[in-house]
Structure 1
Amino acid sequence: MKTRIGIVGAGFAGLALALVLARRGFAPTVIEKRSEEQLRNEGIFLTLAPNGMNALRGLGLTDAALARGVETRGLVFHNEHGRVLGALDYTRHVQRFAAPSVTIRRGELGAILLEAARAAGIDIRFGTAVDAVTQTSSDVLVTGSDGGSEGFDILVGADGLRSSVRRLVMPDLPTPTYNGLQGSGGIVDVPDVPPTDGRMHMTFGRNAFFGYIKAPAAPVYWFNTFPQTEENRATPLTGEPLARFLAGLHRLDPEVNRRIIAAADPADIRVYPDFDIPNLSHWSAGRVVLIGDAAHAVTPHSGQGASMALEDALVLAAAIAAEATPARAFERFESLRRARVEAAVRLGRQSGTPKKAQGWLSLRLRDLLLPLFVPLGQKAQERLFAYRADQEPLSLP
């Protein structure tokens, strides 16, 4: 009899895992509390690093991501006056890592994975939250919000930062903590903003951080990051008040940034707080394992969240196929992944720190030190980029 595998969460980690398991002869079931429409319209956009694109290669989906995204050829950092502080060159990524970096709408990447999962005949149940998880020595019983219950040999919590599976099965683990930064962004047509030749232009502004990229005959993908106290975060702005607040944050930025914000429809601007999840002492308990953000949330500043989730999927599927018991598979998975994802978490925290700079002295020190740290950051990125989960997922990265 085939191993019964339940996956809670139809995000990048969950759908990718289901695809790899199906190709290895398993018949996974995916349980997702959101609707399909919510999945297809989730979030704003992200950048898949070469290691994430190579993980997609293991799913046969690299070309689809390239077709729907923007090849990202580098990052250029400016201060509030528009002076270049440093740059990261990604033009040799294909040569060095066998894949480019690609900026893509979150919903588009989710749709690519969903369409592949549907084509593979995977059972995906939208609109069902998990209310209870009960383990016995032989299986895991999952009770859904629809009142139904089903038993699995393995249950995978791929349900994100606020994982219900983690809360229900491993309540001893710490919860995510707000780190003092908040972000917003959107996708908007601004015809008079010139294409950026595949480069993401980023500004360390006086009050906030701003970034954008634009392909020819395409809309502008933009985002910003700004310090925000816990108290102010509790009463978030929306609509016109939010648009005015963002315009005020960037009033001293280069003119192109102000133009992009002015063109954005206030109703379309999305805001998201930045959370860190403390280092979890374990990622599994009995027949249940966590992957992706449920196990190791990586801040957006690392550019590795989606890539790490896709890598997790390939490694866990290989471990399940290779090991005789869930416990041994989970132990092997965690031993292969922990050091790598912790390196990505550290990179994200280091990249986020300069975005908190406030005051004249902090800004001047940032401008002096950033040109020295950018090359070090590129080396740290490239160590992450070089790993190929599509080739030998059970080898150490």
Structure 2
Amino acid sequence: MKALVIGCGIGGPAIAMALREVGVDAEIFEAYGASADGVGAFLNVASNGLDALRALDAHREVLRAGIPTPDLVMWSGTGKRLGAVSNGLALDDGTVSHTILRADLHRIVRDEAVRRGITISYGRRMVSFEDTGDRVTARFEDGGEATGDLLIAADGVHSRTRRLLDPTAPEPRYAGLYSGGGIVRDQDFTGEPGVYHLVFGKRAFFGYTVAESGETWWFANLPRELGDVPADWRPVLAEAFEPDANFSADLVRRAELGPMLPIHDLPPLPTWHRGRVLLTGDAAHATSPSSGQGASLAIEDAVVLARCLRDAGDHRAAFRLFESERRDRVERVVAYARTISNSKAAGPVARVFRDALMPYFLKRSASQESLAWMYRHQVSL
């Protein structure tokens, strides 16, 4: 059996590696003409995502490249400490969630896939596919095509495969926020390594953590109308953070700022698969970064899909089994993240209620068991 994997982000290489573990050949087709080295800021790989990588024996380099970040502390824009929760639950061996440059995570999983003999073809933007019942053919913008037994989509929140599979599928939803950030080395910006500080500011949301090296990794979420993009984000962000009782405005003025991008997620999709074509990762269930689970869910998908293909009688049964095992979980994460994103974009009245009630809710959620459904979820081949 051969699978055509569309997309070489995080999910695509993970899928290809997982499929090889169960005897399914896989080739990855990436729309862009070069790899994503150096693209993106940083992201969270939660403990459940690291556990899924461990199932593929691909976790060690990720742990070496990332920053252990097991704790979250919440603050109001006035400087009031609202409470603290865990950033995931430690695995049995003590492994905790890690923050890693997206470019590093991508490089690690891609290079590991190549090391295992998986072919990645760049500049292959899929424009259509044909499922004949016994095979599926992907056709690309360059005029070429490829044929296999399965077509697995890992092409992100704006997935072309999803639109081809179901033209009536709901479009990605804008979360009301633009997001960006960067890394700065400055002795004026310090903190306890391994702790994320998250600030629900008066006009925008600010988060940061400090590495053992002394670098401050920071990000900002700014409520804004979709498409309202200024010529220069720096003064816009600095003005948004100016009323807050922390160093966010000063940091923005002095730090290198990466691109500010709109945040989207996906409402529940009616169709995850049809025939020999399946959606996975953000193509099926994109969650906002507020969950800290996007990459982890994509890696979980890879492991579960491989197991289903190995254990089910045929691809139809495997796809049904995959969806039944994954749908409730991922939709719960998407809903959880959307609630958090909405709180970041709260208006003046909602902000008062949020800051007043959040300490109570954080106390309730500080119990590790309240988050076990997300972080203790284990997948295996």
Q: State the TM-score, normalized to the length of structure 1.
A: 0.91
In 2: Cα distance, 1:134 partner to 1:108 partner: 35
CA distance in 2, matches of 1:340, 1:269: 32
Question: Is the contact made by 1:296 and 1:341 (CA closer than 8 Å) also made in structure 2?
Answer: yes
Distance 1:247 1:368, change over 3 A: same
The partner residue of 2:305 within 306, 309, 316 is 316
1:371 is matched with which residue?
359
- Aligned residue runs from structure 1 range 299-378, under 5 A: 299-359=288-348, 361-378=349-366
Question: Over residues 110-163 of structure 1, what are the superposed CA-to-partner deviations in whole Å (9 max), with x where a residue is unaligned?
Answer: 011011001001011011100111111111111112211121110001100111
Q: 1:70 aligns with which of 67, 70, 74?
A: 67
* 1:188 aligned to which of 184, 190, 200: 184
Structure 1 gap ranges (5+): none
Number of corresponding residues: 379
Once the two structures are TM-superposed, the CA of residue 92 in structure 1 deviates from its matched residue by 6.2
Q: How far has the Cα of 1:91 moved from its partner?
A: 9.0
Q: What is the Cα deviation at residue 353 of structure 1?
A: 2.1
In the other structure, the counterpart of 1:34 is 32
Correspondent of 1:138 among 131, 134, 137: 134
Q: Which residue of the partner structure matches residue 250 of structure 2? A: 259
> For residues 137-191 of structure 1, what are the alpha-carbon distances to aligned partners after superposition, in whole Å with 9 as ceiling and x for unaligned?
1111111122111211100011001111111122121111213222121222223
- Equivalent runs, 1:35-50 vs 2, <5 Å: 35-37=33-35, 39-50=36-47
Matches within 5 A, 1:236-315: 236-238=229-231, 241-265=232-256, 268-315=257-304
Match of 2:114 among 108, 118, 122: 118
Q: Secondary structure at the match of 2:5?
A: strand
Deviations 1:338-383 (A, max 9, x none): 0110111121012122212221x33321111001112444554332
Secondary structure of the equivalent of 2:260? strand
Tell me, in whole angstroms, the C-alpha distance in 1 between the residues paired with 2:32 and 2:184: 26
With 163-172 and 325-334 compared, the bigger mean Cα shift is at 163-172
Counterparts of 1:91 and 1:8, CA distance in 2: 30
Distance 1:375 1:62, change over 3 A: farther
Distance 2:182 2:352 in 1: 29
Q: Does 2:218 correspond to 1:234? A: no
Equivalent-residue separation in structure 1 for 2:21 and 2:86 (angstroms): 36
Give the residue type in structure 1 aligned to 2:281.
Answer: G
Distance 2:298 2:89 in 1: 24
8 Å contact kept, 1:40–1:107:
yes
In structure 2, the partner of 1:59 is 56
Residue 28 of structure 1 and its aligned partner are, at CA, apart by 0.4
Q: 1:314/1:98 Cα in 2 relative to 1: closer, same or farther (>3 Å)?
A: farther
CA-to-aligned-CA distance 1:64-105 (integer Å, 9 cap, x gap): 11111100020111111211001113596244x853110001
Distance 1:196 1:339, change over 3 A: same
Q: Distance in 2 between matches of 1:317 and 1:325?
A: 12
Task: Give percent identity, aligned residues only.
Answer: 34
- In the alignment, which of 21, 24, 33 is matched to residue 22 of structure 2? 24
- What root-mean-square deviation, in Å, do the aligned CA atoms of Structure 1 and Structure 2 show? 1.7
Do residues 103 (structure 1) and 99 (structure 2) align?
yes
Greater fraction helix: 1
2:230 maps to amino acid: L
Corresponding residue number in structure 2 for 1:163: 159
